[in-house]
Structure 1
Amino acid sequence: MDIFEAIERRHSVRDFLERKLPESIKEEIENLSLKSITEKLDWKVNLSTFPGYVYATTRKDFEKQVDYGFQGEQIVLFLTMKGLGTCWMARSPHPDVPYIITFGYPRSRNFTRSRKPITSFLENDVEELPPEIIRIVEMTILAPSAMNRQPWRIKFTGGELCISSRSPVDLGIALSHAFLVAREIFKREPEIVKKGEDTYCLVLN
C-alpha cells in the first residue's frame, strides 16, 4: 500500500474488535523514523487495553502542538498500511498529552466520508494550479480534524504550498499529508518553513 492509498483508506474508527494486537507493533511504532518539524517526540504505545493507544508528551505552545499532529499522523498512516483502524481522541492520561491515537482491528471496514470541496480550502483558482499541486491538496484535505471541521486554508504561491489553521494539531495533521504526498510526487523531501503565527509552508520549487 502506498501513501496515496493509505490516505484514501484512512478514516476514524471508534468501534474496535476485542482482539489482541501483536507485541511486535509496539516496537515497530517506537522505532519509526518519523519526520519532525522541531524535534522527534518520545512516542509511547499501550497495548494493555482494547483498543491500544499511542501518545507522547509535549509542551502546549503552538509550534510543539503542530509537530505533535505532524508526527502523530505519520503513525496513523503507518497503522493504516498495516490494516489497522485509528482515531485521534481528545482525551489523554496526562495534561501534557494533547491527544491520544487509538488503534486496533476495526469491527467494520465500511465508512462514509463527508468532505468539503477543494475550492472551500484554496485561496487560488483551481484551474491555475499545476496537476501535482492539485493532487497534494486533494490528499491534504482528506486529513482528519477535530469534529471534522476541516479548519484549513491553503494557498500555492511562489513555489510554496502554505497551510494555515488556528488549530495547531489539525494543522500538523494536514501538513503531514501534504509533506508525505509531496515527497512521493517530487522524490525529495520538501523544506518546511513557518510563516506567521498559524501558517506552515512546503517549499516545492
Structure 2
Amino acid sequence: MKGAIYDRISVRTYLKRKLIKLEKEMLNDLVDELDQLDGPFGHKLRFFVHHQDGNLDDEAKRIGTYGFIKNAPSFMGAVVKNEFSGIIDFGYIFEHAILLLTKKGYGTCWLAGSFDRHAFDDKISNDEVIPAISPIGIPEDHMSLRERAIRLAIKANRRKSFEEMFYIGDISHPLKEGSHHVLEDALKLVQLAPSASNKQPWRIIIENKNVHFYLERTPNYNATRTFVTQALDIGIAMKHFEVGLTSSNISFTLKRTPYPAPTTFEYITTYQLDIK
C-alpha cells in the first residue's frame, strides 16, 4: 500500500477502451471484498460499479462528468449513512479501494463534486448519501491540456509543510520534516493524501505515545452540500497514516480521548501507539 500512495495520481484522461469481461469480474470481486470492511467508526459502505456500455461521451453527460473526465469506461461509487463519522469512514474505505486499484495499474480520481448524484438516486435511501465516485480505466500516456489546467488551478502538486500540519504537544511546537521523528515516514504519507480542492485540512498533535487527529475546517467550504466534504479528507488521511504505521511495524489502538486544541481545530480521534 505504501508504494501505491507514492504512485497514485488523479487521472482525468483515459485510453478510449471499455473494460473486458475479466476486468469487470475482477471489479465485482473487489466490490464484494470492500463491502465487508468496517471503517474506523464502524460504518460499512455499499459499493457499486457502473460500466459505460453506450457512447462514452453520452454516458459522461448523464453522470455529469463530461468535460472533466475523458474516456472513462467505468465508475466506482459507494453508499454510506449520512452522518459525520460515516463520511470519515467513507473516505477511509474508499481510499483503500483507490490504492488497491492503483496497485493493479488502473487510473482513478476522487470526484466529490464533479458528478450528478441524481444519476445514482436508485442506489440510496433517505438517510444515505454517495459522497464520491471515481472513474476506473487505463490512464492515457499524456495529460490533456485541460487536465494540466485543472491540476494547476487546484495546485495539485502543492503540499502543506510538516510545520503547517503536525505538532509536538501543542501548536506552538510544530514538527519539522527531517527531524528523524519515529513517525516521520507515516506523516509523510499523510502529507501525500489527496483532499478536496487540495485543502489538506487534517491536523495532528503528537503527545508522547498518543497521536491526536483534528479537522481544521475551511470556512464556508461547500457549505450547501448535504454532508461535510472535508470529513472525507480526514478519512483518507487516517488511511494513509495507518499504512505508514503498518509499514513501520508500529501497532496501535484507536480511541476517542479528546486532547486540548485551538478553537479552530475539531477533535476527531486518537491513535495510541505501542512504541517504546
Shift of 1:202: 2.1
Distance 1:181 1:32, change over 3 A: farther
Counterpart mapping for 1:28-67 below 5 A: 28-32=29-33, 34-37=37-40, 38-48=42-52, 50-67=72-89
Counterpart mapping for 1:69-80 below 5 A: 69-80=91-102
Shift of 1:32: 3.0
What is the aligned-residue identity percentage? 27
From the CA coordinates, give the structure whose radius of gyration is larger: 2
Where does residue 231 of structure 2 map in the other structure?
A: 168
Work out the CA distance in 2 between the residues paired with 1:43 and 1:81.
Answer: 19
Distance 1:31 1:153, change over 3 A: same
Q: Which of 187, 196, 200 is matched with 2:269 structurally? A: 200
One-letter amino acid matched to 2:161? P
Where does residue 26 of structure 2 map in the other structure?
A: 25
One-letter amino acid matched to 1:97? I
Q: Number of residue pairs matched?
A: 202
Give the SS at the match of 1:32. Answer: helix
Q: Which of 166, 169, 175 is matched with 1:126 structurally? A: 175
* Contact kept in structure 2, 1:126 and 1:134, CA below 8 Å: no
Q: Which of 151, 158, 167 is matched with 1:114 structurally? A: 158
Work out the CA distance in 2 between the residues paired with 1:109 and 1:156.
Answer: 41
Where does residue 253 of structure 2 map in the other structure?
A: 191
Give the SS at the match of 1:58. Answer: strand
**Is there any run of 5+ residues in structure 1 with no aligned partner, and where?**
none
Where does residue 5 of structure 1 map in the other structure?
A: 3
Deviates more, 1:150-159 or 1:118-127: 118-127
Work out the CA distance in 1 between the residues paired with 2:13 and 2:270.
Answer: 35
Shift of 1:40: 2.4
One-letter amino acid matched to 2:50? N
Deviates more, 1:60-69 or 1:112-121: 112-121
Q: Per-residue CA shift, 1:50-76, capped at 9, x if unaligned?
A: 342221211221100000001000001
* Aligned: 1:157 with 2:207: yes
* Contact kept in structure 1, 2:190 and 2:238, CA below 8 Å: yes
* Contact kept in structure 1, 2:82 and 2:129, CA below 8 Å: yes
One-letter amino acid matched to 1:145? S
Where does residue 100 of structure 1 map in the other structure?
A: 133
One-letter amino acid matched to 1:101? S
Q: Per-residue CA shift, 1:156-189, capped at 9, x if unaligned?
A: 113122221242111001111111221232264x
Work out the CA distance in 1 between the residues paired with 2:238 and 2:268.
Answer: 10
One-letter amino acid matched to 1:58? V
Shift of 1:82: 0.7
Work out the CA distance in 2 between the residues paired with 1:54 and 1:83.
Answer: 16
One-letter amino acid matched to 1:16? Y
- TM-score, length-normalised on structure 1? 0.86
Where does residue 181 of structure 1 map in the other structure?
A: 244
